[in-house]
Amino acid sequence: MSAELKTTDAGAEREMTDGFHLIIDALKMNGVETIYGVPGIPITDFGRMAQAEGIRVLSFRHEQNAGYAASIAGFLTKKPGICLTVSAPGFLNGLTALAHATTNCFPMILISGSSEREIVDLQQGDYEEMDQLAIAKPLCKAAYRVLHAADIGIGIARAIRAAVSGRPGGVYLDLPAKLFGQVMDAEAGRKSLVKVIDAAPAQIPAPESIKRALAVLKSAKKPLIILGKGAAYAQADDTIKAFVEKSGVPFLPMSMGKGLLPDTHPQCAGAARSTVLAQSDVVLLIGARLNWLLSHGKGKSWGEPYSKKFIHIDIEPKEMDSNVEIVAPVVGDIGSCVSALLAGMGADFPQPPADWITAVTSKRDENVAKMAPRLMNNNSPMDYHGALGVLRTIVKERPDAILVNEGANALDLTRGIIDMYQPRKRIDVGTWGVMGIGMGYAVGAAIETGKPVLCIEGDSAFGFSGMEIETICRYNLPVCVVIFNNDGIYRGTDVNKGGGSDPAPTVFVKGARYDKMIEAFGGVGVNATSPDELKRAVNAAMDSGKPTLINAVLDPAAGSESGRIGNLNPQSALKKKK
Ligand SMILES: Cc1ncc(C[n+]2csc(CCOP(=O)(O)OP(=O)(O)O)c2C)c(N)n1
Ligand SMILES: [Mg+2]
């Protein structure tokens, strides 16, 4: 613990400490090793001191990216990722990532300095005045403010527990500027710190819920398991694999659930998605919500009017019956629930009917075979399939690398084409389909895992966090960014229908050379015009570990409106005008 001697009014020498050091001590006591943030008043000195005390303090160019790094750190480690921001504008920049963490159920704490309470509350116009606590509250799982140095220990303990227990999420911790300088007796300070014991206690499912779930699964003629990112988060990889394999049931991984079992596993139904969704009769959801990503569990893609039964494993009871009836809710943490299911299966759990397995595997094999020749083209300029064909092989050869992915076509086609082999290796836009996670995730993943990172980025997607390539170079992180440059959002061929000189809203500078950006910071830039060139450049980057940015020149006409979700664009009830 850091403290110093001070002479009190009574003249006696006492060891004293302050808010700065109590926060650092509380974080360290609870295992926080890294802070992601942007410095400024009132947290500049705090960052310096935290670094001096052995916490890794990573400084970004924009708080949103620091926040995304913290959020993915939470997903990858099951410990809250910490983002540190200045008041008002810095806080607001970080808030998007905090809301993103909450929506995606990632544990994260946004710690923000704030201005003088007395002035803020009377709205007297303080430097960066804002009632941050009130603004954060509706956007996160919990929000707290600490006013007294003696409460720092309990405040940080509450924030940590709130972030990781139950369904994880984002927590806001408001630290007014005055708090940092508050002084108190060091011994009392030491005693005020709280080490959080069992921050995310196991939540054991009710035995009858397990029996019910197994009975429903047993009755299935066409069962399906869906693995969501909650299943990946749980770090119950061996139990989940054992359960899925023992059941013999085809499984469908959601985007960030890919790799829990390899996409090449004989039971993987990823390439037969529409068939299994429409035709299954019993669906077991493990850490996957029936939100828009699964068409809310109803409608044409689920084969309606044909109906099916859902078994749902989730830690949040409110998730049950959120969109459709759940006939077998299993509420608890995923590790405990799946262990209980596995134990309850006994030795002679029936395998799914052979005709269902044959139907699923033949559809999958047919789709995989259909795709294969498209992935082998060496066209220049490239199309998505040619570029992804080589990247797919690179990921296969380097299964422990982390894949970051965002864009529209760049996202959907990568997700469909690139097989994953290990859990928590694919990290992407998540529940909101948000652009901007790219470089923040890359930094967070490289720091937290020590593994090489490959980012596959749409040219628009990259732009949201592009300045962080300086951060990547500054910390010399093993990150290779591939930009699928098709000159715009969805594609680069739109024209201004008004006929003026402005380009269409979806179109960017033609023939942009993103590779030159990283050269400004000492990284390696490559312009790749064919799959062969792309392959060479990515392999070199992954071998060297040097920060690299590859401008992959795609045909501007490659890509479709909104990738795979063009159907979500609103259409007028009126006939289209010319
Ligand atoms: C924060 C945010 N702003 C805007 C969007 C809307 N949006 C969806 S995809 C996309 C970019 C798609 O273009 P690109 O990344 O170049 O991928 P492409 O389809 O061209 O491969 C945008 C702007 C979003 N999802 N998130
Ligand atoms: Mg694009």
Give yes or no for residue 7 having a pLDDT over 80.
no
pLDDT of residue 146: 98
Q: Distance from the CA of 572 to the center of ligand 2, in angstroms?
A: 26
* pLDDT band, residue 160 (cuts 50/70/90): very high
Q: Supply the residue whose CA is at minimum distance from atom 20 of ligand 1.
A: 490
Show the CA angle centred on residue 85, arms to residues 79 and 88, nearest 5°: 135
Whole-number Å distance, alpha carbon 460 to ligand 2 midpoint, is 5
Q: Are 30 and 196 in contact (CB under 8 A)?
A: yes
At 400 the three-state DSSP class reads: coil
pLDDT at 578 over 60: no
Residue 482 β-bridge partners: 456, 550
Å from CA of 488 to ligand 1 middle: 9
Atom 13, ligand 1: residue with shortest CA distance: 489
Mean pLDDT (whole number) for 150-159: 98
The pLDDT of residue 37 is above 60: yes
Closest atom, ligand 1, to C-alpha of 436: 1
CA distance 192 to 468: 38
CB of 424 closer than 8 Å to CB of 75 = yes
CA dihedral 329, 333, 334, 339 (to 10 degrees): -90
Check pocket membership of 297 for ligand 1, CB cut-off 6 A: no
Contact 182, 19 (CB under 8 A): yes
- Is any ligand 1 atom within 6 A of the Cβ of residue 463? no
Distance in angstroms (rounded) separating the CA atoms of residues 5 and 89: 37
As a whole number of angstroms, the distance between CA 493 and CA 325 comes to 45
At 248-278, the pLDDT tens digits run 999 999 999 999 999 999 999 999 999 999 9
Ligand 1 touching residue 514 (CB < 6 A): no
Confidence tier at 575 by pLDDT (50, 70, 90): confident
From the CB of 408, is ligand 1 less than 6 Å away?
yes
Say if ligand 1 is within 6 A of residue 452 CB.
no
Ligand 1 atom nearest the C-alpha of 491 is 20
Return d(Cα 432, Cα 487) in angstroms, integer: 24
Share of the chain above pLDDT 90, in %: 94
564 band by pLDDT with thresholds 50, 70 and 90: confident
pLDDT value at residue 3: 60
Residue 460 beta carbon below 6 angstroms from any ligand 1 atom: yes
Query: Is any atom of ligand 1 closer than 6 Å to the C-beta of 407?
Result: yes
Ligand number, closest to the Cα atom of 490: 1
Residue 41 CA to ligand 2 centre (angstroms): 37
**Cα-based distances in Å from 439 to 34, 395, 464:** 17, 19, 9
User: How far is 250 from 245, CA to CA, in rounded Å?
Assistant: 9
406: phi then psi, degrees, rounded to nearest 5: -150, 160
